[in-house]
Amino acid sequence: MLFTSELFEKVISAILCSFNSTATNNEKQNALKFLEDLKENHSVICLTISFELLKQINNQPILHHYSLHLIESIIKQKWNILKIDDRNLVKKQFFLIIKGIYLNQIFAEPIYIRNSLAKCLVELIKRDCFEKVNTTLDEIVNMIQEITQIQGLFYCLN
């Protein structure tokens, strides 16, 4: 499966359908089945879609929330299966989202979005730092420096 604009739109439709109160149970079930299959069998594509959803400023909060849910789930369940390059890309994209131009937009969203963002960050740190036996001191220092920069951004925005 490849990332395409059609797939991206299908994911958006499935997310919106699964949270739509007027959708039938069958429609919701099909949408959730599609999303679950994507998450379980196509982790890298799912991460790509999730980060793209987060980058779009005009998205509904539910799309941002679900994309963070997908990222958190993949970090928790599939982190050790991902290739090192994919892990590095996840870290890079995630920190770009936090540090980048999307930060103001994220803080304008409901508290549950910010909580989801924080949970993803915690899971990323747990998997990347504490589960690695061979974590070098330089890696830990760099991670702490990035977290300190993020905390500074959080403090400035509050």
Span 30-51, mean pLDDT? Answer: 94
**114, 106 Cβ separation under 8 angstroms:** yes
Owning domain of residue 83: 5-157
Check pLDDT > 90 for residue 42. yes
Q: Crossing angle, helix 61-78 and helix 5-18, to 10 degrees? A: 100
126-140: per-residue pLDDT in tens? 887 655 555 566 766
Q: Could you tell me the pLDDT band of residue 114, with boundaries at 50, 70 and 90?
A: confident
**Count of CB atoms within 10 A of residue 16's CB?**
15
Measure the CA–CA gap between 158 and 34, rounded to whole angstroms.
Answer: 38
**103, 157 Cβ separation under 8 angstroms:** yes
How many structural domains comprise the chain? 1
**Count of CB atoms within 10 A of residue 75's CB?**
26
E-state strands within 97-139:
none
> C-alpha distances in angstroms, 88 versus 76, 83, 92?
15, 9, 6
